[in-house]
Amino acid sequence: MELDRYWAVVVKHRWSIIITTAVVALAALGLSFLQPPAYEGKTTLLVSPRYTAARLLGTEFSDLSPEAQGVSETHLELIRSRAVIERAIAEKNLGVSADDLLRRVRVTRIGQSDLVTVVATDRDAAKAAASADAVASAYIGWSQQNHATSYKRAADALQERLDAMTTRVTALRTKLSAMESYWKSVSIRVKDAKAAGTSATPGTSTGSGGAQQKKVDALLKSSAWAAQRVGELNAQIDAAKTQSDRLVDRIEALREDEESSEGDAVIVAPSVVGTTKTSPKPLRNGILGLAVGFLLGIVLAFAPERARVEHRPSR
């Protein structure tokens, strides 16, 4: 049987298979012990995204907030962004380049929760823990500063609108004052015209009386227009004042948010020095060496047999 022939080849070359397996396994173990140690620092963050736009635009936009979706890939990329990495290096004086730290840091989400782990590797256990904590703290500070800047820009933009509204109210008050003066003068002229028509000398011509009445009617019409215009200006001023009051309240709220803005995360589990050793791992490497050595021994055992069969002369 074919299986018996294969087994016969294995038995025939058993010592070469054993020696190959042992040599590869010992080589893997030797390399493991020669490999410098590496450690992991792991910091756990509770990420709670704060949708700044909902605060800036008002509660009617709260449905647009991605908070209900929890942590997204964007947040993971932001934690590992160059801006955050450079901030971590500067704040904690890590003494490494941004590219080097980027290569040694990874960020992962724990299941479907809002927990995120920041893992940093280093040959020094203390530096690995410090790097992980530094990146986590830098992200919190960066997001806090980002929110504060957004609030400030929004408040400054609203302040410009408030200044423009104040200028408009001043202009409307000037128009109102002029219109009230005009209305008052017209009212006096109406009163004088009516008095003049009443005290007219008997026997005055009908044409003269009609002209006086037309003058009174024209003045009354001007007075009515002025009164209407005064009412419109008062209404515009009241509406502008209402808008100004709302802007003042909104600006004050944004200034308070700017002062008290928080980051998008909190550290729930800081890194502990020297708790996770990533390399070397002699046991794992030894097992892999045994497996690779055994397969290599099998290949070396069957190669001569296959070559012998292929070069056997046909009968």
Can you give the three-state secondary structure of the chain, one letter per residue?
CHHHHHHHHHHHCHHHHHHHHHHHHHHHHHHHHHCCCEEEEEEEEEECCCCHHHHHHCHHHHHHCHHHHCCCHHHHHHHCCHHHHHHHHHHHCCCCCHHHHHHCEEEEECCCCCEEEEEEEECCHHHHHHHHHHHHHHHHHHHHHHHHHHHHHHHHHHHHHHHHHHHHHHHHHHHHHHHHHHHHHHHHHHHHHHHHHHCCCCCCCHHHHHHHHHHHHHHHHHHHHHHHHHHHHHHHHHHHHHHHHHHHHHHHHHHHHHHHCCCCEEEEECCCCCCEEEECCHHHHHHHHHHHHHHHHHHHHHHHHHHHHHCCCCC
Pairwise CA distance, residues 269 & 45, whole Å: 7
Q: Which two tokens stand for residue 251?
A: 């600006």
State pLDDT tens for residues 50-89: 655 445 555 433 443 444 445 778 888 999 999 999 999 9
HSE at residue 164, side-chain half, CA atoms within 13 A, is 6
Are β-strands 115-122 and 105-109 bridged in parallel, bridged antiparallel, or unpaired?
antiparallel
Q: What is the pLDDT along the chain (315 residues), one digit of tens a residue?
A: 467 777 777 777 778 878 888 888 787 777 766 666 778 899 999 988 765 544 555 543 344 344 444 577 888 899 999 999 999 999 999 989 999 999 999 999 998 888 999 999 988 888 999 999 999 999 999 999 988 888 899 899 999 999 999 999 999 999 999 999 999 998 888 888 877 766 655 555 555 667 778 888 888 898 899 999 999 999 999 999 999 999 999 999 888 888 888 888 889 989 887 656 666 666 777 788 788 878 887 888 777 766 665 555 554
Give backbone dihedrals phi and psi of 290, rounded to 5 degrees, phi first: -60, -45
Q: Letter for the amino acid at 98?
A: A
CB neighbour list of residue 223: distance below 8 Å, 6 or more residues apart? 183, 186, 187, 190
